[in-house]
Amino acid sequence: MSRLAFRAAAAVVGVALLAVYLTAALFVADLLRVLWAARPDLPVLLALLAAAALGSAYLSYRLGTAQILANLEGDRVPRERAPDLHRRVDSLAARMDVARPKLYVTDARAPNAFAVGGGADGGALVIDRSLFRLLAPREIEAIFAHELAHLEGNDGFAIAMADGIGRSLVGIATVVALPALLALSGLAAASAWIRGRPGDRSGPFARLHRALAGALFAGFVLATLVARSRSRKREFAADDRAAEVTGDPVALARALRRIERATDPTWSFAPFSTHKRTDEAVERWLSTHPSTDERVERLRERAEAQGPTRRIPAGPSRTTAGRGRARR
């Protein structure tokens, strides 16, 4: 095929692509225009959008909680099987403004505990069996108090709602911007084909498309960062509440250190572990938990303010990021 014939064929392809993308953009724009024309009064519209965002976040929270409990590799523990465990939790719940949670013991082979749910149903407290081998009784009680503090503050619900509302707002913005995204994508592809460079995305339309898509992605990241920041603050609040209820911040600090040491691998392939430490600021911002070092330091200061206490074990020199969704 001669160069002239290739340029002609490429131009035809470019025009066809432009027609397809612009048709799709016009269809979406017309659909949005119809929806906007049929909108109720502004206060009613805002109320409906808020209700939809809240409803979506709540449904996601409830389904997520049910899925976590359904996927547990463990069983619910009745009182007759572990009366001492139930007495400990009953005692803490009586000292806190929280309904008594359901108890689950798992065999995840990683020392951890986390709380899910909350509110009127009391939620659930999930404990890995290895904690009972790793921690002393006072340390186990401190970890339980920390998790009950999450249930007391209904933290899981609050964080899920904040995250869900943020994502809903970004989703609405994306729908509104969809016609522009489609049009810019079509213009970028068409101009590249017409210029005889199908893979070139350096033109002005491509740059505009990337800028708009980047702005939407930045909104998604911002919503995530706000939710994660809220989660880290609630971890500090739960630490403070546990120290207040037990009167022993040292026990919680020691428990956090023991769990950290048990979950941080020391073997030669540790860099490939999901539990590896990180000094990256972005990863720390995206973490649901503050570093263990930071939490232990706050507990140490609280213990010193209370008076002479037992020594808190020193931690590693580097900051350790919080671990995923499981709440300690």
The catalytic site residues sit at 147
Distance, CA of 131 to CA of 139 (rounded, Å): 10
Residues with Cβ < 8 Å from 262, sequence gap 6 or more? 110, 111, 130, 134
Residue with tokens 């995840």: 108
Q: Take residue 181 and report the two structure tokens written for it.
A: 């995204």
Q: 317 burial class (0-12, 13-18, 19+ CB within 10 angstroms)?
A: exposed
What is the phi/psi pair of residue 124, to 5°? -140, 145
Cβ contacts of 91 within 8 Å, gap of 6 or more? none
Query: Is 320 within 8 Å of 264 (Cβ atoms)?
Result: yes
Which among 234, 243, 225, 221 is positioned nearest to 301, based on CA atoms? 243
The DSSP annotation for 73-134 comes to SEEE--TTT-HHHHHHHHHHHHHTT-PPPEEEEE--SS--EEEE--GGG--EEEEETTHHHH
